[in-house]
Amino acid sequence: MTTKLEKILRTAEKGNGLENQDIRFLLDLEEKEQVEALFATARNLRSRFFGNKIFLYGFLYISTFCRNNCHFCFYRKSNPDSVRYRKDKDDIVSAARELAETGVHLIDLTMGEDPELLMPDGQGIDWLIDVVASVRAATGLPVMVSPGLVPEEMLKRMANEGVSWYACYQETHNPSLFKRLRPGQSYEDRLQGKMMAHSLGLLVEEGLLAGVGESRNDIANSIDMMRCLDADQVRIMNFVPQNGTPMADCLPPDPFRELVVAAVMRLALPDRLIPASLDVDGLGGLKARLDAGANVITSLVPPGQGLAGVAQSSLDIEEGNRTAESAVRILQRNGLRAAFLHEYTDWVQQRRQAIAAVHSKRRSAC
């Protein structure tokens, strides 16, 4: 191992964080021995902050309608190949209950920027808040809502009426790449939405896509931006080319890319949540993601309910391989375990108190 790498890993392991130039250096690692050392440091840090416990997230894609046309997304408005549905409340609550019974720690309600939900008459938000209340009553679990960019009023209702998390992915923090990937959308508004959510007391998940035309420096800057946002959960996902989209013929990135970025995120944000999504490679890709320092398994989807994934709309779902039971078997084989529910809710509670304290200090300084 080079002295420079050893020095950076030692600094990170002491919890002293990473400079942007260190992040760029780590993102360039390719030699097997060096990458293994990076992954080992990521696992050590996960273990220091979280022990051997891993959190499990149930995923319900409740509406696949969207007003936008992101170039990378299967569910873009103008994709005729996309599966479209909008689940009703009873179906959502029943799927959430089923997920809760399998031992997940959170229910993630994801949707496109569904025009019906965002109607100015407010009926859409009333519906969503009612769904959240019903899911919480039926499961007793925290809820994450991933509705895309929404008005401030809607964030306020979410914060005041029982939502714990707001997930909204920038996918890149290079504004000109953002403009190409997300035509007609505002980079600034999307970022501001997350800051607003945090100031209202919601936990925030930020996310990146790898393999969509970004440079190594773009990824390093994104990791810096995630620290600047003080994001509570940070995800990296390799781009999967989608039928019927302008990027359908793009080559997917090296599968290794996602793992290296995840490990660097763990070094840069050691006490935060980093998901291992089943959405790109299914259950077969889980061990590699855990080995890179992830501590949440996301995209657990119940079979038999006609529910879709995001990057892979159907991979492993109806085969029953996106279940907590299958994931837990892999955890056990790797010396890890599913957290107890109270361990997850304690973490959520502590983070919410931490962000409330930061924002109250900022308000009193103004």
Among 62-70, 87-95, 229-237, 323-331, which window interacts with ligand SF4 (CB under 6 A)? 62-70
- Map residues 99-138 to x or -, x wherever contact with ligand SF4 holds by CB under 6 A: -------------xx-------------------------
- Residue pointed to by tokens 């359908």: 248
Instruction: Identify whether the C-beta of residue 211 lies closer than 8 Å to the C-beta of residue 238.
Output: yes
Q: Tell me the backbone φ, ψ of residue 337, rounded to 5 degrees.
A: -150, 155
CB of 86 to ligand SF4, least distance (A): 13
Minimum CB distance to ligand SF4 smaller for 148 or for 285: 148
3-state helix, strand, coil in the chain (%, to 5): 45, 15, 40
* Interacting residues with ligand SF4 between 214 and 273 (CB under 6 A): none
- Residue pointed to by tokens 């994709």: 79
Report the residue count for the chain: 366
Cα of 264 vs its chain's centroid, Å = 16
Class of residue 33 by CB neighbours under 10 A (exposed 0-12, middle 13-18, buried 19+): exposed
- Residue pointed to by tokens 């029953």: 320
Alpha-carbon distances of 123 from 39, 117, 131, 166, rounded to whole Å: 47, 7, 12, 20
CB of 49 to ligand SF4, least distance (A): 30
Minimum CB distance to ligand SF4 smaller for 73 or for 317: 73
Minimum CB distance to ligand SF4 smaller for 54 or for 308: 308
Among 21-29, 42-50, 67-75, 275-283, which window interacts with ligand SF4 (CB under 6 A)? 67-75
CB of 173 to ligand SF4, least distance (A): 16
Contact with ligand SF4 (CB under 6 A) among 25, 55, 61, 75: 75
Among 72-80, 230-238, 242-250, 347-355, which window interacts with ligand SF4 (CB under 6 A)? 72-80
Minimum CB distance to ligand SF4 smaller for 66 or for 263: 66
Instruction: Identify whether the C-beta of residue 164 lies closer than 8 Å to the C-beta of residue 348.
Output: yes
Instruction: For residue 152, give both structure tokens.
Output: 């401030």
Q: How many residues bind ligand SF4 (CB under 6 A)?
A: 9
The rounded distance, in Å, linking the Cα atoms of 45 and 50 is 8
Contact with ligand SF4 (CB under 6 A) among 24, 46, 76, 235: 76
Minimum CB distance to ligand SF4 smaller for 182 or for 289: 182
Contact with ligand SF4 (CB under 6 A) among 5, 12, 73, 132: 73
Instruction: Identify whether the C-beta of residue 61 lies closer than 8 Å to the C-beta of residue 307.
Output: yes
CB of 171 to ligand SF4, least distance (A): 8
* 3-class SS of residue 185: coil
Contacts to ligand SF4 by CB under 6 A:
66, 68, 70, 73, 75-76, 112-113, 148
